Structure formats: C-alpha cells, structure tokens
Chain A
Amino acid sequence: MNKHGGAAELFVYGTLCTGEDNAGFLAGLPVQEARVRGQLFRLPAGYPALVADSAGSWVRGELVTLDGDVRLGVLDHLEGVGRDLFQRVPVPVALGDRTVVAWAYVMDRTQVQERTGVWIEHGDWRRLSAGRKRS
C-alpha cells in the first residue's frame, strides 16, 4: 500500500497489457489473466476505455500485482487522471472463481460517447490489437 493506494493490484485491459504499447510502465511485475464486468470501447485515439458495470459482460485483461516499485503517479499521468481522460477507481476483478478488488483506469459512459467510442463486443483488446498488428 502507499499514499495514493489502498489496493495493491491493478487491472489492465488495454495498452498496459503484456506485449502492448505501454507495457513498459509495468515492466517486470507479475500478471495473471483476469476479467471484470463492464463494456469495452475502442476510442478513435487508438486505445480502449472500460466502463465498469456490474450488469455488463466480461472484459478481459490482466491483474498486475503492484509492489513498492510501482509509481501510481506515473501511471496516473499516462492515463490522464485529472485531465478529463481516465479515472482510477477500485473495481471487483474475477480471478477464476475468486473476486478481488483492484484499481482500474476507467471512463464514464458520457466520456466514451463524447469520444465516439465503438463497443468491442468480445471485450478483449488484445485480440483486436493482435489482429491489427498482423495486418
């Protein structure tokens, strides 16, 4: 735990996932497959946004175990926290049959609509980005 912390884990679903564009900001940390309830949208800027919603479908991603070496201040800057981009909020994350609470960078529905986000029905950004990289 740390000053801005509480949760010692972070759920990532887009460019912070292993092998994705911004994975470096979480270099060397342990990750496990995980999912959360909500809707995933593809934004024209080239990255996805999660709207957390307990009634939503599954959004796939990774649960990253943070340690003393992670600087959430750096991630907050990357995700535009306080600049009307993402907000860092605690969300319930499913790990197999277990649920834990972890941080996630999310948007609200209005923000996604304003940015003309397109719903990714299968809820997996990595599937989309793998397809894009092959082509």
Chain B
Amino acid sequence: MEIGDGYRRDGNGVSLESGGFVIRRRTRAALNAIKRRMSEQSSPVRAVEVLQEDATHAAEFEEQSGGNTRFSSIARLAAEGGLGEAQHADDSSTDVAAYAARARAKGLELDLAGEGMNLSEDGASFWGPVDNASSRAKADGRVLTIDQWECITCGTCEENTTLVFEVPSGDKAEVLAQDGPMDLIQDAIEACPVTCIHWLGAAEIEEHHSHGGFDSI
C-alpha cells in the first residue's frame, strides 16, 4: 500500500520507489547482518564461507537494495558456487580442484588425470594430475634442484609456490620439497631468469645444488 512520497508498505517491509530504485529496509538490515557476521570471522576464508552459506539471500538482498554493485556481483558468484574456485585460484594446493582452478584462472583447458603415477598417450609416465615436463621428470625419478652458483636471489620461484621454493632473506633460493604442485613448479622453472632450476638424475646432483626433500644420494 502507498504510504506517501513514493513509500510503500508490503510483506517485505517499507520500500521507497523512485526512478526504478527500490530500497527495502528490512532486506538492507538482513544484508548488513551478513556483512557484520563476515567481519566477525577469524579469517577471510571463514568470512567467505559465511557469505557462501547465505549467498542466495545476499545476492537477492543486494540487488533489491540497489546498493554496492561490487558486493552483489561477488554474492552472485558465491550463490553460483564460483567463489570456492576463486578461493583456490591463487593458492598452491595439490588437490585436483586447486589444479583445475589454477588452470581456469590462466584460461587453460586442461585434461586433468588422477593424482599420482599416470601413463600418457605417447607412453611416457607423469606424476598426475597434470602432464608436463616437471610431472614427467618426477615420474622418471628425477630430483628437483636449484643451482646455488647460478641463482640470483630474485624470488621468482617463491612467487610461484612457497610450498616448494624458499628464498631465505638475502640468500640463494632453496628447494623445500620434492612433492608439490607440478604446474607451479613448471611455471617457476620457465620463469627463472637464469634457468637455475632443473630436474636432475640422482647421479648428477652436486654439492652446490639445493635438493630439499631428497635425501638418498
């Protein structure tokens, strides 16, 4: 029912209609409650989970209230289940979902295999889920190394994945682990400006090679 000056009262509370712009006070309050609950969480990831729990409402509320379009776009994405992927796109997890999210974030359409040892169509084995030079080298029993003589401490490898590479402050980059995201390891190898990251056969490893996670020389 009209209650003057463009205000209406209906089942959703009091609304103001002017120029196609509708403000529903009750929905605005509900939306603010979601935002408040998000800000009370212990971490951003938890906060996004709160948003996901109530995403359909959040997207609806936000659109009805005509408010911050940035929030409504992220709430819509959450409602469609797409935020889980965004949460994964910039981490270095090794689960298949994380590999898939990173591939999509790069615009790649990858056929992902299962985790662990796989056989490719050309008969080579690779350490799944991605088939690339690194996962093939790992499947061949090669060891991930950084040549400490060549390394210039630029930090590029660490930017690709901190699970596998570390640059101790002011020192040469080190390999932390032999297991890790094979896509990001391959990115790091290709991005290294002095090409000092190599998969070596165990017999080729020398003292100036960092080879964390590999002990049996």
A45 vs chain B, min Cβ distance (A): 6
Segment at the A interface, from B71-79, B132-140, B168-176, B206-214: B71-79
Closest to B165 in A: A1
How far does the alpha carbon of A28 sit from the alpha carbon of B37 in the complex, in Å? 12
A24 near B41 with CB under 8 A, answer yes
Q: Which residues of A contact B51 (CB under 8 A)?
A: 24
A71 near B86 with CB under 8 A, answer yes
Taking a contact as CB atoms closer than 8 A, the residue among B38, B74, B87 that contacts A27 in the complex is B38
How far does the alpha carbon of A50 sit from the alpha carbon of B47 in the complex, in Å? 25
Q: Which residues of B contact A23 (CB under 8 A)?
A: 35, 38-39
Given A27-B39, A28-B41, A69-B43, the answer on whether A47 and B68 have CB atoms closer than 8 Å is: yes
Question: How many A residues, CB 8 Å from partner?
Answer: 33
Interface of chain A residues 6 through 60 with chain B (CB within 8 A): 6, 15, 19, 21-29, 45-47
Closest to B82 in A: A77
How far does the alpha carbon of A4 sit from the alpha carbon of B73 in the complex, in Å? 21
Given A69-B44, A73-B89, A74-B83, the answer on whether A3 and B70 have CB atoms closer than 8 Å is: no
Question: How many B residues, CB 8 Å from partner?
Answer: 41
B70 near A47 with CB under 8 A, answer yes
Among B44, B48, B71, B86: residue with most chain A CB under 10 A: B44
A21 near B71 with CB under 8 A, answer yes
Taking a contact as CB atoms closer than 8 A, the residue among B46, B67, B159 that contacts A1 in the complex is B159
B71 near A78 with CB under 8 A, answer yes
How far does the alpha carbon of A21 sit from the alpha carbon of B62 in the complex, in Å? 12
A132 vs chain B, min Cβ distance (A): 13
A10 vs chain B, min Cβ distance (A): 11
How far does the alpha carbon of A118 sit from the alpha carbon of B69 in the complex, in Å? 19
A21 near B43 with CB under 8 A, answer no
A residues adjacent to B (C-beta < 8 A): 1-6, 15, 19, 21-29, 45-47, 68-74, 76-80, 85
A–B complex contacts, Cβ < 8 Å, 6 sampled:
A3-B92, A4-B90, A24-B35, A25-B38, A71-B88, A74-B87
* New A-B contacts (19) at CB < 8 Å, excluding given A22-B68, A72-B90, A73-B86: A3-B160, A15-B68, A22-B35, A24-B38, A24-B41, A26-B44, A29-B43, A29-B44, A46-B67, A69-B43, A71-B44, A71-B86, A71-B88, A71-B90, A73-B87, A74-B48, A77-B83, A77-B86, A80-B70
B residues adjacent to A (C-beta < 8 A): 35-48, 50-51, 67-71, 73-74, 77, 83, 86-92, 102, 105, 155, 158-162, 184
